[in-house]
């Protein structure tokens, strides 16, 4: 198992018990996402965590696959799912790389609170672009730490050494948008919730042609 999977396995129960930091913003992000979901939508969510968002969106779409690198996170997801009547949602232990053969496949891909944790985030954005159908939507929520928490650049590596934090990338909102534009995306919506200085919500579209 990778160090990343071990880290998230270790904190999975704590993460599951943690209340949403800004409920109002979370609800608005769900609603903004749902404006793009239809009963025909084929959806992939990577780094789904404990599955809360997948469980909300899945009843609105045709099929919903939610993946995460951490087996313990996925176990929590599957337990939650077993208490529901949702039949079009599957949770799997996987990374986006395991799905790279699925090109032009999905109507919507979600990557929430994940891109800033990936050293290859630019490649992941490009991969997402390939996996979407023309006209498809990439929904992301990303910690853009260079804009307001640049000091963490020195603290987080120490925390990582002590096993208290995962790997974290530092980039700005502008740099994130630039990575998306370079991959071919059009930015449809971008929102920084009033209470957040770093959590940047972006809905990007793969052009039809």
Ligand X SMILES: C[S@@+](CC[C@H](N)C(=O)[O-])C[C@H]1O[C@@H](n2cnc3c(N)ncnc32)[C@H](O)[C@@H]1O
Contact positions vs ligand X (CB under 6 A): 4, 8, 46-49, 68-70, 73, 95, 112-114, 117-118
Give min distance, CB of 113 to ligand X, in A: 4
Both tokens assigned to 92? 């799997």
Helix, strand, or coil (residue 100): coil
C-beta closer to ligand X: residue 48 or 61? 48
We find the least distance from the C-beta atom of residue 91 to ligand X, in angstroms, to be 11
Query: Of all residues in this chain, which one has the CB nearest to ligand X in the complex?
Result: 49
Give the residue with the Cβ less far from ligand X, 164 or 186. Answer: 164
Structure letter (DSSP) for residue 119: T
Question: Is the Cβ of residue 27 or residue 134 nearer to ligand X in the bound state?
Answer: 27
Tokens of 141: 């929520």
Least Cβ distance, residue 142 to ligand X (angstroms): 10
Closest among 202, 141, 150 to 172, alpha carbons compared = 150
Q: Which two tokens stand for residue 177?
A: 């948008």
Query: What's the min distance (Å) between Cβ of 18 and ligand X?
Result: 9
Closer residue to ligand X (CB): 8 or 129 = 8
Backbone angles phi, psi at 20, to 5 degrees: -60, 135
Q: How many helices (H) and strands (E) does the chain have?
A: 8, 7
Closest among 32, 77, 38 to 54, alpha carbons compared: 77
Task: For residue 115, give the 3-state DSSP assignment.
Answer: helix
Query: Shortest distance, CB of residue 207 to ligand X, whole angstroms?
Result: 26
Would strands 186-191 and 199-205 be described as parallel, antiparallel, or unpaired? antiparallel
Q: How many CB atoms lie within 10 A of CB 53?
A: 21
Query: Shortest Cβ distance from residue 33 to ligand X (Å)?
Result: 12
**Residue with smaller CB distance to ligand X, 11 or 187:** 11
In whole angstroms, give the CA distance from residue 118 to residue 168: 7
Which residue, 121 or 129, has its beta carbon nearer to ligand X? 121
């Amino acid at each position: 198992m990778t160090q990343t999977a071990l880290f998230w396995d270790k904190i999975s129960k704590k993460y599951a018990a943690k209340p949403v930091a800004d409920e109002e913003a979370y609800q608005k992000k769900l609603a903004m996402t749902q404006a793009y979901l239809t009963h025909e939508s084929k959806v992939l969510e990577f780094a789904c965590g404990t599955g809360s968002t997948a469980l909300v969106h899945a009843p609105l779409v045709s099929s919903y696959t939610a993946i995460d690198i951490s087996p313990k996170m996925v176990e929590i997801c599957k337990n939650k799912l077993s208490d529901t009547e949702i039949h079009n949602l599957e949770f799997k232990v996987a990374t986006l790389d395991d799905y790279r053969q699925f090109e032009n496949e999905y109507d919507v891909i979600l990557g929430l609170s994940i891109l800033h944790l990936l050293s290859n985030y630019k490649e992941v954005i490009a991969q997402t672009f390939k996996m979407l159908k023309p006209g498809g939507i990439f929904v992301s929520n990303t910690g853009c730490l260079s804009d307001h928490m640049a000091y963490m650049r020195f603290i987080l590596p120490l925390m990582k050494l002590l096993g208290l934090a995962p790997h974290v990338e530092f980039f700005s909102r502008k740099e994130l948008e630039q990575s998306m534009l370079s991959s071919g995306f059009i930015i449809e919506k971008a929102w920084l919730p009033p209470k957040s200085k770093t959590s940047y919500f972006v809905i990007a579209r793969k052009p039809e042609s």
